[in-house]
Amino acid sequence: MLELRDQVRDGRALLIGGKWLRGSGAPLTTVDPASGETNASFPTAAAAEVDLAVAVAVQAQRQAAWSALLPHQRADHLHAVSRLLLERTEPLARLVMHENGKTLTESRSQVRGAAGIFRYYAALCETLVSEVTPSRGPYLSLTQYEPQGVVAAITPWNSPVNLAAEKLAPALAAGNAVLLKPSELTPLVSLELGQLCLDAGVPPGIVNVLPGAVETASELVRHPGVQMISFTGGTKAGKAIAQAAAARFVPVVLELGGKSAQIVLEDADLALAAAGVVAGIFGSMGQSCIAGSRLLVHQSVHQPLLAMIVERARALRLGPPDSSETELGPLASFAHRDRVQAMVDEGVAAGARVLAGGGRPEGAAFARGAYFQPTVLAGLDGRASTVRNEIFGPVLCVLPFASDEEIVAAADDSDYGLACGIWTREFHRAWAVARRVRAGTVWINTYRQNSVATPFGGYKASGLGRERGVQGLRQYQQVKSVFLGASATPMSIDR
């Protein structure tokens, strides 16, 4: 049974200005997808609470309790957040497991990953330099970086602690205040992360957490006191947020959907490729924007590779997420399981052959949870909606091709451009394909390798801007140029 803090049990599940408050919005209920049991139920943030949180954040940020700290002083707090995340790994991981359905092993790994994100941005905070730009006259010119102000950070349910950290850490390192709006499916771990920031010495009002549904997010993105929006989620919602941001001329970072291709050429190490393809689509139950959900394989190795993948998919162990023997837990919600099933059924109706999985697993152990089998579909072409649309579940669509040109064309025949995997023994061939594919991340003979130090984002409908790395910090800053005159007379002519 999930242990809840007293404030949440009492219905005070908003964290504003360092205080736990009760919302006036519609009630929210979170459910454990492995058991169907209720985790918590409480009222959410409505317009009044959003107004309060924005006012508190603006005041906290302008009072110079945070933005005017020297970089190494802000870094001290970020290091403290990292240490507390490591100290509290177990309870936070269990929160993730109960809210999201991830295995306990993966949940622990994600909490440790979140600690690494804060540690990285703490280091970057106190070492990243401003620039002295080349002089073209009798002056000294400097580039300064300043915080945007108040940032609305809207996060999804699939990796709630990691994705919250990817927004909080760089935004805080840059000197901003943050209004964190978590998914309605996974609010509890974000509330704990907000309290953890307070415990690490981050001033009250700098990190505020506002659980709610679409209405809460809409209030945030349209609020005149919000000076930047950072969103991770679906492309449809991302477009609406981009329009709202454009109307107010505020910057926006969007990390959106994907329908990523795994390209296997005929000279690939097939055993390595099969392992990578299986991990790329079935890891996290396919609930990842970078899931390699389209397998584009050279027809000469199509059958042997497919046999390996099907065998591996059928052997994956589904089960309760707290079991050490479990490889895959449930999907994150019962509604999402129904959506995945509907998209698989649509593919079958369009002519797909189900080679593995295809629906809910049988047995009493799975009856109460949102479980779904690892699924492999063949026989569809690139026009099928199951091939083109993001499923966000453990469903792999297999398409054979005769040449590199056909495979690259198929990889780019998508509204998305988030990621791509390439499997081949020949470096020059891999490099040529990698340069031609329009995707924000390309893996060669590996997949789902991530680094907080490496920028991440997408082409086309997969988003705008980049998270992680130096660029991930700069997104949360304004750029200011300063000229110091070194002449007895004003200069107004460029040289």
Residue type, 154: I
126 in catalytic set: no
Q: Tokens 């296997």 appear where?
A: 264
Residues 6+ apart with CB under 8 A from 358: 344, 348, 373, 375
Q: Are residues 235 and 289 in the same domain?
A: no
Q: What's the structural domain count of the chain?
A: 2
For residue 405, is pLDDT > 70?
yes
467 in catalytic set: yes
Please give the angle made by the CA atoms of 131, 133 and 134, to the nearest 5 degrees. Answer: 150
pLDDT tens, residue by residue, 301-326: 999 999 999 999 999 999 999 999 99
87 in catalytic set: no
pLDDT tens, residue by residue, 58-93: 999 988 678 889 999 999 999 999 999 999 999 999
What's the CA gap between 389 and 340, in Å, rounded? 11
Question: What would the mean pLDDT of 433-461 be, rounded to a whole number?
Answer: 97
- Which residue among the candidates 255, 259, 390, 397 is catalytic per the annotation? 255
pLDDT tens, residue by residue, 246-286: 999 999 999 999 999 999 999 999 999 999 999 999 999 99
Strand partners, 479: 145
Q: Are residues 350 and 225 in the same domain?
A: no
Domain that holds residue 11: 6-256+462-480
What's the CA gap between 429 and 414, in Å, rounded? 22
At 172, which CATH number? Answer: 3.40.605.10
What's the CA gap between 159 and 99, in Å, rounded? 10
Q: Are residues 343 and 411 in the same domain?
A: yes
Q: Are residues 248 and 265 in the same domain?
A: no
Closest CA relative to residue 11, chosen from 26, 25, 23: 23
Which two structure tokens, joined as six digits, stand for 73?
A: 């002083």
In a domain, 453, yes or no: no
Strand partners, 178: 151, 207
For the chain, give the mean pLDDT.
Answer: 96
- Which residue among the candidates 102, 167, 181, 259 is catalytic per the annotation? 167
* Residue-level pLDDT at 112: 98
Residue type, 329: G
What's the CA gap between 242 and 277, in Å, rounded? 33
- What angle do the packed helices 214-222 and 235-248 form, to 10 degrees? 30
Which two structure tokens, joined as six digits, stand for 399?
A: 């398409």
Label residue 237 left, alpha or beta by phi (over 0 means left) and psi (-120 to 50 means alpha).
alpha
Q: Are residues 37 and 111 in the same domain?
A: yes
Q: Are residues 91 and 132 in the same domain?
A: yes
Model pTM greater than 0.75?
yes
What's the CA gap between 99 and 311, in Å, rounded? 31
Q: Are residues 385 and 470 in the same domain?
A: no
In a domain, 487, yes or no: no
**pLDDT category of residue 494 using cuts at 50, 70 and 90:** low
Looking at the chain, the whole-number percentage of residues with pLDDT higher than 70 is: 99
At 287, which CATH number? Answer: 3.40.309.10
480 in catalytic set: no
For residue 136, is pLDDT > 80?
yes
Strand partners, 180: 153, 209
Q: Are residues 269 and 238 in the same domain?
A: no
H or E stretch covering 441: strand 441-444
Closest CA relative to residue 374, chosen from 289, 314, 329: 314
For residue 492, is pLDDT > 70?
no
